[in-house]
Amino acid sequence: MAVDGKGVETDSRKMLEMASIEKIWDLLHDGFLVIGEDGNIRNMNSRTRELLGIPEGNELPLPLRRFSPELFVHLESCIGTESQQVFEATIAYPERRLLRVTCLPIDGKSPLLHALVLTDRTAEEERNAAFLEDEMCAAVQLLAGSMAHEMGNPLNTLQIQLQLLQRQLREGRRGKKVLEAVAVCRDEVDRLHRMVQQFLGAIRPAQPNLATVDLNGLMEGCIAVLREELDRHCIGIQLRFCRESPKILGDSEQLRRVFLNLLRNAMEAIDGTGNILVNTAEDNAFALVEIEDDGVGISPSALPHLLRSQHSNKRLGNGLGLLIVQRILRTHRGTIALRSLSPRGTRAVLRLPLENPRFPMLPTGNSENEIPDFSEAKMSTHSTSSGSRNCNQKCSNPR
């Protein structure tokens, strides 16, 4: 029988090329295998054997289901398709691994073959999990330490006042000092309650329960809650509201927390007597709220950091209040901007989407009226004043 030398040479060249390719495959850090429509492995590199625990002595083709049933289950939807797919699979044998699998059809092959690239993401995932755990532990430690520090001051005040109260009651006193001690204790309990609520809000934020919210009415309700405290500290409050109250889609309870937090910040920034200005307005798409105080103000260097966790401009602050404000506004697709005023004072400007935004035609000329300017009279507003009196004359208990 005659031997075709050219054919032998071609076959030898193909064998050499295949051997070279297989050597290159074995150098790859990722697993590489070829699988048919029947689910059998037609070829693979040594890294695939290592990842899937396939001994060297087994002859190809090999059923993938036998060595890695978890991977085979994921591949069932890919086999026979002509599109590239990427997914992650967790295998248990020979050890637990997380694999990112890239499945690519090999063109021009009948029956259809698929090339699989197996990338081991186990170490990366463990590093990420360890990093997240460390971050969580650090955050919990920071919150716990901050909370313990913050609660120490009011608890110490409570202890002192209760001791005084006990002594006065034991001596049969029922006068003004007893009432003052009870008032101090009540304030400190309220402070502790707000502190706990702040920490809980920072740890487990709730999803908003959306409904139509009357912005002016909500703000008036918040001011009513603080009325006694404002009067006690001799702080005047001036209101300049939109004549037609802006309607927004939001969670009234969460937004109430936002406004109360910002109003309290404004109150605490005022050293002695002062005033707070509250404005509401709207443009075509957003309701706007401005809360301005004439307190001590914020230094330009501190302003960029105030909306970050655990940063506060107050001596006894923990920074969680503004963190909660920002988080609630984000879930409502709103924003907050803080501005330092000259020579003193701070302004917080909030933007919240209107429930029914208006979409006017594009302006052809001057567009200065597109965004309301709180300082100009061109808004349709009415002004009211609440408690804006001469505090130095009428207040006997200035801070």
- Integer-rounded Cα Rg, in Å, for the chain is 35
**How far, in Å, CA of 165 to CA of 181, rounded?**
6
For residues 221-249, average pLDDT: 91
In a domain, 363, yes or no: no
**How far, in Å, CA of 218 to CA of 102, rounded?**
54
In a domain, 5, yes or no: no
In a domain, 339, yes or no: yes
CA 66 to each of CA 62, 77, 155, 269: distance values in angstroms, whole numbers, following the listed order: 8, 18, 66, 71
Whether residues 151 and 246 fall in one domain: no
pLDDT value for 212: 95
Q: What is the pLDDT of residues 249-282, one digit of tens each?
A: 999 988 988 998 899 989 988 988 899 999 999 9
Whether residues 253 and 354 fall in one domain: yes
pLDDT value for 361: 45
Kindly report the CATH number assigned to the domain that includes residue 226. 3.30.565.10
For residues 107-123, average pLDDT: 83
pLDDT value for 108: 64
In a domain, 57, yes or no: yes
Whether residues 226 and 335 fall in one domain: yes
Whether residues 240 and 337 fall in one domain: yes
In a domain, 3, yes or no: no
Q: What proportion of the chain, given as a percentage, has pLDDT over 70?
A: 73
pLDDT value for 116: 92
Last residue of a domain, one of 178, 203, 228: 203
Whether residues 42 and 110 fall in one domain: yes
Give the range of the structural domain holding residue 42, as residue numbers without chain letter.
Answer: 21-120
For residues 297-319, average pLDDT: 56
In a domain, 12, yes or no: no
For residues 131-159, average pLDDT: 73
In a domain, 130, yes or no: no
Q: What is the pLDDT of residues 75-100, one digit of tens each?
A: 887 777 778 889 898 888 888 899 99
**What total number of domains does the chain contain?**
3
- Mean pLDDT over the full length of the chain: 77
pTM above 0.85, yes or no: no
